[in-house]
Amino acid sequence: MAVRRVMFLPIRTRPCFRASTVACRPIARPVITQRWHSTPPQNNIYDFDQIKGFTESPSTETIIIDVREPAEFEEGYIPGAVNIPIKSQPDAILLSAEDFEDRFGFPKPEANKEVVFYCRSGVRSNAAAMLAQQAGYQNIKEYRGSWNDWRAKGGKEVRPGMSTGEESGSER
């Protein structure tokens, strides 16, 4: 018995009954491509003018937190900011209120207050904002321009030990 016709079918094809007259096409499966981004919405970002407004009209409802290291903080900071170094003290925001005050010398920011994080260029402030969110803070903002932007735009600088009247712009 001789075989006259052999038909090879690729995997995932429809069965072909009349191979001589109907071409077999592979079944196409739709591919869903979507990129997921972990960037926070833009309404959580403050710019220079908004931060400047906070420094000119301080509020007890808004706390500006500098997450740079203490040595960086001592070189200058935004008026009214407190220092909570995220790199050397990543657990700070997770501490109890009593332990926090013992470690830093000022009260822990309340979870219902607006907290605004900044660092030197915006990277550490983003990490701090994510940690604060995990710790239960709801009203979290970031100053993404951070210290570099503040100085470049002539924002007032404060150094530890300076009185409010001694604040200076970035041009010294």
For 46, the token pair is: 């403050």
Q: Which of 24, 15, 19 is nearest to 5 (CA)?
A: 19
Other Cβ atoms within 10 Å of 8 Cβ, number? 5
What span, in angstroms and rounded, lies between the C-alpha atoms of 135 and 142? Answer: 16
Q: Strands 62-66, 82-83: parallel, antiparallel or unpaired by DSSP?
A: parallel
Q: If you ran DSSP here, which 8-state letter would residue 72 be given?
A: H
User: Which of 67, 115, 119, 132 is labelled catalytic?
Assistant: 119
Q: Strands 45-46, 140-143: parallel, antiparallel or unpaired by DSSP?
A: parallel
Catalytic-residue membership of 119: yes
The number of angstroms, rounded, from the C-alpha of 170 to the middle of its chain's C-alpha atoms is 26
Q: Strands 82-83, 45-46: parallel, antiparallel or unpaired by DSSP?
A: unpaired
What span, in angstroms and rounded, lies between the C-alpha atoms of 78 and 120? Answer: 11
Any idea which residues carry the catalytic annotation?
119
